[in-house]
Structure 1
Amino acid sequence: MFKSSQLETVKTWLVNPINSAFPLHIRIQRAIKQLILDGVLTSGKPLPATRALAKSLAVSRDTVETAYGQLHAEGFIDRRVGSGSFVSMRAHRLSKRPVQHSIPSESHETMLSQRGMAMFLDGGIKNFSAPRPFIQGVPETRNFPLPVWERLERQVLKEYGHLALQAGPPQGMEALRCAVADYINLERGARATPERILILTSSQQAIALCAQMLLDTGERIFMEDPAYHGARKAFEAAGLECIPIPVDKHGLQVDALCNSSVSARVVFLSPSHQFPTGATLTLDRRLTLIEWAAQQKAWIIEDDYDSEFHYAGKPTACIQGMDRYERTIYVGTFTKSLFPGVRIGYMLLPDSLVEPMTRARTLLDGHSAPIPQLTLARFIEAGHFGAHVRSMRLIYAGRLNVLVQLIEKHLFEYVIPIVPDGGMQIFCKLVCEISEQTVIDSARREGIDLFGLTALYASAQPQAGFLLGFAAYTPMEMDAAIKLLAKVFRTLLRKE
């Protein structure tokens, strides 16, 4: 017979509401299996007779017989005619309980490749599932026209039927590639055709593809300093050496790149709205960079992550549209202009890279889901995307002004804001005698998330401070959060 504690374990499985969806024999079978896996019932241990266990559990004998039959079929118990049922002699190989000769658990160092270890230690990219002030790069989703999106999605399902449930082409649905090409030609001054668009899940996937396809391990890539952390981590994970090029108020210092003592065949930058400073690369620097790439047979990776949101004057046309040599790879995303859950980004590629990049993409995730692609295509074609962007541009511009006023009123002793012409966050320099990390840690305990600037620099003298995102937060939410952040600063200064 079972010990009383073992019998109670089985009874608990029977009465636990979590298991109420399972038939009685499944509950009994899983309870006994768990006792075996936990090492409570060891190899050779006899099990109660079906009649006796049925009586103890107040169930029918057939129920216990069915449970035993399943355990026997799975190899957890042996059944001998005339002798009864016993825990299988193989059970010790299944038990979670450590035994004397068990293999010691591997450390991360022995378990992972060098590349895997570098990615693990780098920490990945923090993903905020529920945005709290002042997470940067998060759009306002409460104003998104869900009824319109839902209607368009129903149209897609009605028109395509079960075909919409099948795998899509790895390059992306043609309807969306056409819509994207038309949009960036009109709004960003690109020179795009549907045949040169590759639909992906995100701009991060695009950057990772470029890291794998354009350079070999150990090669160099020029990067802005400071720069988007997700890009640097993707390049370093691919084994590349990131060479920092300083940024000033006019964007990447292209002369420093051209005169660098080391060479590189790729440069990554965000020229329309530099991350994180907000600077816009000037026209003369863009033209110089294009000529450099042509002469060096190098590639320009142009990250145009949030250019839709420009608040002062007309946004500058993208580098790709000026590049007659076709050395520019243009990267865009809809996660900032629409909503993060849409999971659609894209690359506009030179002709020579379309097929290689598309084939490489098949080794990652195969394709993007057709239904959201087709829905987004209609959203763009019908003018809803443009209308939504214009609406959010007005909202974000208003929120930027509110946040600047709040900073000047409540945080003027602690930070200096660099007000951008566009984007979704403000670059704030820390000017008080408190460490960046101390402020970040203290603010997080109060429910405020700040993105530190130090980690974005590769140079030895980074600018201390943080980014304050404003797009996803109402004026009232920002007012409360800024006052709380001011309180955090006052408390920290009193402790100094």
Structure 2
Amino acid sequence: MFKHSQLESVKAWLVHPAHAAMPLHTRIQRAIRQLIVDGALGPGKQLPASRALAGSLEVSRDTIETAYAQLHAEGFIDRRVGSGSFVAEMKEFTSGRRLMQRDTLRDQTPNLSKRGDAMFRSGGVREMLTPRPFAHGVPDTRSFPLLLWERLERQVLKEAGSQALLHGDPQGAEPLRRAIADYVNLERGAHATADRVVVLTSSQQAMTLCAHVLFDPGDRIFIEDPVYYGARKAFDAAGLDCVPVPVDHQGIMAERITADPHKAKAVFLTPSHQFPTGATLELDRRLALIEWAARHQAWIIEDDYDSEFHYAGRPTACVQGLDPHDRTIYIGTFTKALFPGLRIGYVVLPPHLVKPVTIARTLLDGHTASIAQLTLARFMEAGHFGAHVRTMRGIYAKRLEVLTALVREHLADFVEPQTPVGGLQMPCMLTGGLSESTAIAAAQRVGIELLGLSALYAGDDGRAGFLMGFAAYTPHEIERAVKKLAHALHAVRTA
């Protein structure tokens, strides 16, 4: 018979809420198995007779017999006719030491590869599941035409049937690739065809693929300073030597790159709307970088992450469309223009890179979900994408105007807003004596989310400030959050 503590452990399994979905015999089987794994029931230990255990647990004998049968099938117990059930002798498993070993292993540093360790130490790229003001880079999903999307998805399922449930083309569904090529050619001035587009799950995946397919550990790559944290983490994790290049009001200082005597394999840019400063890369600098890449057989990795939302005139054409040498890799995403849960991004590649990148992505996730791709293709082909972007551009422009006015009214003692010409967030530079960490901590205590700017710089001399996302929040929500932030910052200053 079980000891009292062992019997109570089994009973605890039966009533634990986390196990409620399991059949009763499975709960009993798992509870006894755990006692064996933890060493509470050692090899050769006899288990209670099924009738006796059934009485103790107030269940049927058949339930216990089913649990014992599963334990026997898994090799945890031996059943001997006329003698009973006993914990099995397992040569590769010393049960009495398991508890100690498990606790020891839990405290050990993972034995990772250099690349795995770099990924782990970077902290990854995390997004807020439920964004709150002023989380950056988040679109307004409440204004998305969900009923229209549902109708288009039903049309896709009706026409494609079970074919949409099968594996998809790893390069991406042809209708979507064609729609993307048409869009970037028309709206971004790109040179794209459907056969040069690879549909991915995100721009982050695109950057990771570039880092692993095009470069070897130790290769040099120029990056903007400050730079988008996801890009730096992707390149660092691949073992690249990231060389920061300062950004001014005209974008990355291209002359630092063209004059650098050391060989580099690539430059990473956000030229249409630099992250996080909001600067637009000047035409002369674009042309200089295009010629530099051609001369050195280097790559330009262009991340065009939110160019749909430009509030002062038309956005400048993308670098890829200006490049006659096919040295530019153009990355785009629908996360900002539509909704993050869509998980569709893309890359427009030089022709000879399409096959290597497509094969490489099959090692990551095979393909992007087919139903979502086909629905998005229909959404774009029917003109709904362009209409939605135009609607949201007007809404976001108004919200940016509201945020700018409120910051100047309520936060003038602390920050100077840098009103951007586009995008989903506004940089604010600290001017009132509070440190960046103090301001961000004060904001977090009252439920306000801010992204610090100084950490986006390569060195310790980055400008102190933070980003304030505005796209996902109504004017009323923005006003309430700004006032709450102002109260928190004044409280810290006077404390």
> What is the TM-score with the length of structure 1 in the denominator?
0.95
Query: Which residue number in structure 2 is paired with residue 57 of structure 1?
Result: 57
Question: Could you tell me whether the CA contact under 8 Å between 2:39 and 2:99 is conserved in 1?
Answer: no
Q: What is the one-letter code of the residue matched to 2:388?
A: H
Aligned equivalent of 1:390: 390
2:181 equivalent in structure 1: 181
Counterpart residue number, 1:36: 36
Offset, 1:77: 1.4
Per the TM alignment, residue 262 of structure 1 is displaced from its structure 2 partner at its CA by 2.8
Counterpart of 1:46 in structure 2 is: 46
Matches of 2:265 and 2:29 in 1, distance apart? 62
CA contact (8 A) 2:33 2:71 kept: yes
Question: Are 2:306 and 1:306 equivalent residues in the alignment?
Answer: yes
Name the residue aligned to 2:401. Answer: 401
Corresponding residue of 1:364: 364
Aligned to 1:375: 375
- 1:82 & 1:159 partners in 2: Cα distance? 63
CA distance in 1, matches of 2:479, 2:287: 42
* Pairing of 1:56-75 with structure 2 (within 5 A): 56-75=56-75
Distance 1:19 1:327, change over 3 A: closer
Length, aligned pairs only: 495
Runs of 5+ unmatched residues, structure 1: none
Tell me the distance in 2 between the aligned counterparts of 1:97 and 1:488: 52
Q: Assess, with a 3 A threshold, how the Cα gap between structure 1 residues 356 and 16 changes in structure 2: closer, same or farther.
A: closer
User: Which residue identity does 1:382 align to in structure 2?
Assistant: A
> Which residue is equivalent to 2:143?
143
Q: How does 1:336-375 map to 2 (within 5 A)?
A: 336-375=336-375
Once residues 461 and 342 of structure 1 are traced to their aligned partners in structure 2, the CA distance between those partners, rounded to angstroms, is: 37
In 2, Cα distance between the equivalents of 1:110 and 1:20?
A: 33
Closer, same or farther in 2 for the Cα pair 1:92/1:366, shift >3 Å?
closer
Of 114-123 and 139-148, more deviation after overlay is shown by 114-123
**Farther off after superposition, 82-91 or 248-257:** 82-91
Q: Please give the alpha-carbon distance, in whole angstroms, between the structure 1 residues aligned to 2:23 and 2:115.
A: 47
Q: Deviations over 1:373-399 (max 9, x none)?
A: 000000000011001000100000000
Compared with structure 1, are the counterparts of its residues 432 and 96 closer, same or farther at alpha carbon in structure 2 (3 Å cutoff)?
farther
Are residues 1:90 and 2:90 paired?
Answer: yes
Q: Is the 8 A contact 1:76 1:91 kept in 2?
A: no
Pairing 1:17-416 to 2, within 5 Å after superposition: 19-90=19-90, 93=93, 95=95, 98=98, 104-105=104-105, 111-416=111-416
Q: What amino acid maps onto 2:267 in structure 1? A: V
Distance in 2 between the 1:393 and 1:159 partners?
33
Alpha-carbon spacing, 1:318–1:20, altered in 2? closer, same or farther (3 Å)? closer
> For the residues of structure 2 that align with 1:463 and 1:425, how far apart are their CA atoms?
17
Q: Percent same amino acid at aligned positions?
A: 63
Task: Tell me whether 477-486 or 403-412 shows the greater mean CA deviation.
Answer: 477-486
**Deviation of residue 260 (structure 1)?**
2.2
The verdict on how the C-alpha distance between 1:107 and 1:113 changes in structure 2, with shifts beyond 3 A counting, is farther
RMSD: 2.0
Aligned equivalents of 1:334 and 1:253: distance in 2? 29
The aligned residue for residue 485 of structure 2 is: 485
Superimposed CA distance per residue, residues 184-222 of structure 1 (whole angstroms, 9 cap, x where no aligned partner)? 111111111001001110001111111112221111001
Aligned to 2:243, the other structure's residue is in SS state strand
Give TM-score, length-normalised by structure 2. Answer: 0.95
Output the CA distance in 1 between the equivalents of 2:242 and 2:455.
Answer: 14
> What's 1:428 paired with?
428
Q: Distance in 1 between matches of 2:296 and 2:332?
A: 25
Q: Which whole-Å CA distance do the structure 1 matches of 2:15 and 2:279 have between them?
A: 63
Contact kept? 2:258, 2:292, Cα under 8 Å: yes
Structure 1 pair 228/7, CA: closer, same or farther in 2 (3 Å)?
A: same
Say whether the 8 Å CA contact 1:434–1:493 is kept in structure 2.
Answer: yes
- After superposition, the C-alpha distances for 1:89-110 in whole angstroms (9 at most, x for unaligned) are 2299274864678895387656
Measure the CA separation in 1 of the matches of 2:253 and 2:208. Answer: 24
Greater CA drift, 346-355 or 380-389: 346-355
